[in-house]
Amino acid sequence: MGIDLSIIWFTIIVFSTLMYIVMDGFDLGIGLLFPFNKDAVERDMMVNTVAPVWDGNETWLVLGGAALYGAFPLAYAVITDALAIPLTIMLIGLIFRGVAFEFRFKATEGHRAFWDKSFIAGSVIATFSQGIVVGAFINGFPVEGRTFAGGAMDWLTPFTVFCGFGLVIAYALLGCTWLIMKTDHALHRKMSALVKPLVILLLLAIAVLSAWTPLQHSAIATRWFTLPNLFYFLPVPVLVVAAAWGLLRSVKRHAHYSPFLLTLALVFLGFTGLGISIWPNIIPPGISIWQAASPPQSQGFMLVGGLLIIPVILVYTFWSYYVFRGKISPDEGYH
């Protein structure tokens, strides 16, 4: 049996996407949490926790997009056509957030408020757009031949809008627990107080999406609720509840690291649920990874480069987080 290059590239894309969601998720989450903290010194501390690493986090988004373009060109063509508007809005939000991130430290006191608001707006726009993209992906795309056959606004539905709100909550929780891990004293206590309402809101969002998705898509309902699949996939919701309970318990006992790790577990479980729902389709509801794949020669050629560049990305990512490990103090300047 030969090597299935399509599965290898699908795994690389899934890994890149998950790394992006986790890493850019908590620094977007910091922008989402800005409205809950008006203290200028603490806002600087919040930003300083990610200042050395935030731009490198988006490397994973670039890697995932490039891999999709090369390994599954049909999926890239359909998805970028169907989701051109929310993807463009997302990129505008990321650019605006990045500019505000840098400019707020260089602005005079009179202009600092403007860049703080821009930082919040960019974070909200980018996160909400990503949630809409996820919701539209679950809904699927009509395809005729090798082209998208839907309308320019098919992505805008009540379901996708709710997914947008759900991702805002998830990223806010990621940012909150990241700050619990990276800060002390008053800011640590403020973030700890926000965890419980965010966990409750996230669990409610997960419950609504878990009911809404199978009701809207019979194939997903069949995947989850027919036997023996029900027994195979039952650990996913059970682990979600267990991770949420453990997260609340860890915050109650004033833990520093476990809240963030348990939030990562919640994100991973949500991502796993999405994967179970759509596998093996890369263009839901009916085009599989093999149908959308580029020729094996192209995938093999790309894999040589991927096996060289991915370890480099992993090493410099690990090293940057290692160098800037530990707590942030109020007197630290912008890195």
180 band by pLDDT with thresholds 50, 70 and 90: very high
Architecture of domain 14-294: Up-down Bundle (1.20)
pLDDT tens string 96-126: 888 888 888 777 777 888 888 999 999 999 9
Sign of CA dihedral 175, 179, 180, 186: negative
Residue ranges of the domains in the chain? 14-294
Residue type (1 letter), 232: Y
Residue pointed to by tokens 């085009």: 287
What's the pLDDT score for residue 277? Answer: 85
pLDDT tens string 218-227: 888 888 888 8
Give the global pTM: 0.93
Residue type (1 letter), 161: V
Nearest to 26 by CA among 186, 162, 198: 198
pLDDT tens string 60-73: 888 999 999 999 99
Asked if residue 308 has pLDDT above 70, the reply is yes
Distance CA 119, CA 126 (A): 11
The b-or-e profile of 259-287 (16+ CB within 10 A means b, else e) is: bbebbbbbbebbbbbbeebbeebbbbbeb
